[in-house]
């Protein structure tokens, strides 16, 4: 949703402008209406606008001067609606970037067409920024944008802090008051956002959203984005083979690992596998080249082989970087391979079933998605998407449901204190437990217990 502000010194015209255009239908929200140019300048000190629809002659300051002042702190687009047809005014407005100069009275369809033109320009600018960011983040190189890139977002001088964010939900919108969400681009079904926080606003991290640490200068945004690119499996995608890339070094590595493992020289095999990342970077091997090595090492180090061939896409989805996939292969060397059975789940369905079983039995423990991702050697974002696809619930919502159902059972069937029920169900903070219970059951734990036992409702004021 883009933001528009309306500027005219005649209140009736301002009121008409809010109604004459279907702003919501065109993808705009009205950020404010102003009759005094000085109020507009104050607005731009604490907020932004993608479009300013304005008159040219106003008290205290001309529209041309106001546009010049706005241009110093914003990349806002302008549409001028004026009752004055002087060529000098129109020329100056166009030079300052006005998309159109319309004469009053202006027909609704003409005004709407001008707004659509601005929307198209905003969309093209956003698409250009998205492509530039993707090329920089996923080409294997480092970001090298100047601050003009952020200035084009109209957030350069305004926020107190920035957060970079990645999540799988395209409809993600920051629920924190006084926080603007800018979608930067999408890669591998992961959406990259920039959160611009004003005042004391601060977003809350969740297991479904990867959030960077807060940064306080525009130049710090790009390093934060570069770190979050791992959420979209960029380290794999960044390896682009040279035309003359040869598989000889990789074949030699695989043969050496096989000889070492077959000869019982696990230490040598481990040392060879530890050089995988270095080999891939030196030869710029693509991720598809990692399939054969990954499957070969897994088969060598498991008495019971993996179920089928693991594709490069599955490897990329399961591990956040080549280093992480290599670390998994290294971990296999330290496992007890003396038995005929490997108890670790071997496919996605088995992993989710194992997690669900543990959630049902150990819901009182400090269970987190991060814990299970580490336990099963999976990328946390990938596990989050996998969990929801299998259970149709997020990890947090399902764990909450399990805990709430067990707490309700304890309240109705035991005489445990509320604090004891809270701790028994994984909530160390009884106040938080009370709030969570009331949100889930629409009543307090004490009232719930009384109702289940046929007692009068307690006085909880």
Give which of 44, 78, 74 is closest to 64, Cα–Cα: 78
Residues 12 and 85 in one domain: yes
Give the C-alpha separation, 224 to 231, whole Å. Answer: 12
Is the residue at 293 inside a domain?
yes
Residues 206 and 115 in one domain: no
Residues 6 and 115 in one domain: yes
Residues 268 and 197 in one domain: no
3-state secondary structure at position 100: strand
Q: How many CA atoms lie within 13 A of 87 on its CB side?
A: 0
Give which of 180, 114, 117 is closest to 153, Cα–Cα: 180
- The residue with tokens 């279907």 is 22
The conformational region for residue 163 under phi > 0 = left, psi -120 to 50 = alpha, else beta, is beta
Give the C-alpha separation, 238 to 253, whole Å. Answer: 22
Residues 258 and 273 in one domain: yes
Radius of gyration of the chain (CA): 29
Per-residue model confidence (pLDDT) at position 292: 81
Give the C-alpha separation, 6 to 115, whole Å. Answer: 12
Q: Please tell me the total count of domains within the chain.
A: 5
Task: Please check whether residue 457 is in contact with residue 451, taking contact to mean a CB–CB distance below 8 angstroms.
Answer: yes
> Cα dihedral angle (309, 313, 317, 320), rounded to 10 degrees?
100
Is the residue at 243 inside a domain?
no
Give the C-alpha separation, 38 to 36, whole Å. Answer: 5
Residue-number span of the structural domain to which 195 is assigned: 159-232
Angle at 389 between CA 383 and CA 392, to 5 degrees: 115
Per-residue model confidence (pLDDT) at position 379: 65
pLDDT tens by residue, the chain, 461 residues: 789 999 998 888 888 889 888 999 999 999 899 999 889 988 887 778 899 998 888 877 888 888 888 888 788 899 988 877 767 777 777 777 788 888 888 888 999 999 999 999 988 888 887 877 777 666 544 555 555 677 777 776 677 888 888 877 777 666 666 778 888 887 766 788 888 887 777 777 665 677 888 888 877 888 788 767 655 544 444 444 444 557 788 889 989 988 888 888 888 989 999 988 888 777 767 666 777 888 888 777 754 444 456 666 667 666 766 777 888 888 888 765 544 344 555 567 778 888 999 999 999 998 888 888 777 766 676 778 788 888 988 898 999 999 999 999 999 999 999 999 999 999 988 988 999 999 999 999 999 999 998 888 877 65
Is the residue at 200 inside a domain?
yes
Is the residue at 223 inside a domain?
yes
Task: Please check whether residue 232 is in contact with residue 190, taking contact to mean a CB–CB distance below 8 angstroms.
Answer: yes
3-state secondary structure at position 20: helix
- Do you know the residue count of the chain? 461
Residues 291 and 318 in one domain: yes
Q: What is the pLDDT of residues 297-324, one digit of tens each?
A: 877 775 444 445 666 666 766 676 677 7
Residues 328 and 352 in one domain: no
3-state secondary structure at position 421: helix
Per-residue model confidence (pLDDT) at position 52: 92
Is the residue at 26 inside a domain?
yes
Give the C-alpha separation, 5 to 3, whole Å. Answer: 7
Is the residue at 88 inside a domain?
yes
Give which of 187, 181, 214 is closest to 130, Cα–Cα: 187
Residues 50 and 79 in one domain: yes
Residues 114 and 10 in one domain: yes
| Helix ranges (DSSP H) in 204-287 | 221-228, 234-237, 248-262, 266-273, 276-283
Of 299, 332, 365, at which residue does a domain stop?
332
Per-residue model confidence (pLDDT) at position 317: 62
DSSP labels, 385-419: HHHHHHHSS-HHHHHHHHHHHHHHHHHHH----HH
Is the residue at 401 inside a domain?
yes
Per-residue model confidence (pLDDT) at position 404: 95
Of 304, 332, 360, at which residue does a domain stop?
332
């Amino acid at each position: 949703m883009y933001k528009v502000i309306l500027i005219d010194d005649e209140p009736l015209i301002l009121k008409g402008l809010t109604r004459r255009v279907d702003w919501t239908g065109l993808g705009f929200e009205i950020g404010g209406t102003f009759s005094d140019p000085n109020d507009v300048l104050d607005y731009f000190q604490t907020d932004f606008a993608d479009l300013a629809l304005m008159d040219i002659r106003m008290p205290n300051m001309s529209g041309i001067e106001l546009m010049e002042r706005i241009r110093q702190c914003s990349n806002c687009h302008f549409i001028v609606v004026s009752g004055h047809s002087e060529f000098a005014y129109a020329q100056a407005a166009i030079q300052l970037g006005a998309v159109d100069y319309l004469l009053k009275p202006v027909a609704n369809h003409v005004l709407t067409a001008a707004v659509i033109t601005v929307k198209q320009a905003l969309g093209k600018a956003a698409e250009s920024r998205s492509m530039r960011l993707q090329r920089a983040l996923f080409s294997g190189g480092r970001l090298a944008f100047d601050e003009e890139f952020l200035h084009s977002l109209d957030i350069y001088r305004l926020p107190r802090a920035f957060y970079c964010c990645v999540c799988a939900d395209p409809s993600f919108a920051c629920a924190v008051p006084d926080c603007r969400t800018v979608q930067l681009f999408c890669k591998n079904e992961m959406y990259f956002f920039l959160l611009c926080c004003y005042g004391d606003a601060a977003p809350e991290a969740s297991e479904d959203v990867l959030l960077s640490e807060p940064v306080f200068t525009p130049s710090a945004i790009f390093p934060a984005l570069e770190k979050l690119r791992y959420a979209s499996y960029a380290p794999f995608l960044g390896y682009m083979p040279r035309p003359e890339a040869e598989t000889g070094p990789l074949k030699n590595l695989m043969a050496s690992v096989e000889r070492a493992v077959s000869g019982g020289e696990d230490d040598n095999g481990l040392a060879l596998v530890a050089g995988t990342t270095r080999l891939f970077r030196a030869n710029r091997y693509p991720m598809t080249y990692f399939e054969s090595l990954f499957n070969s090492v897994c088969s060598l180090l498991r008495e019971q082989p993996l179920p089928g061939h693991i594709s490069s896409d599955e490897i990329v989805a399961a591990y956040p970087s080549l280093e992480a996939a290599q670390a998994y292969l290294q971990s296999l060397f330290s496992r007890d391979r003396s038995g005929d059975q490997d108890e670790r789940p071997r496919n996605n369905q088995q992993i989710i079933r194992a997690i669900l079983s543990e959630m049902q039995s150990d819901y009182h423990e400090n269970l987190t998605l991060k814990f299970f991702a580490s336990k099963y050697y999976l990328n946390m974002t990938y596990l989050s998407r996998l969990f929801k696809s299998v259970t149709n619930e997020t990890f947090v919502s399902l764990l909450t449901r399990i805990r709430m159902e067990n707490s309700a059972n304890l309240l109705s069937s035991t005489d445990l204190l509320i604090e004891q029920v809270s701790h028994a169900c994984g909530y160390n903070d009884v106040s938080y437990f009370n709030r969570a219970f009331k949100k889930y059951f629409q009543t307090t734990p004490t009232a719930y217990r009384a109702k289940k036992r046929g007692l009068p409702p307690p006085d909880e004021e």
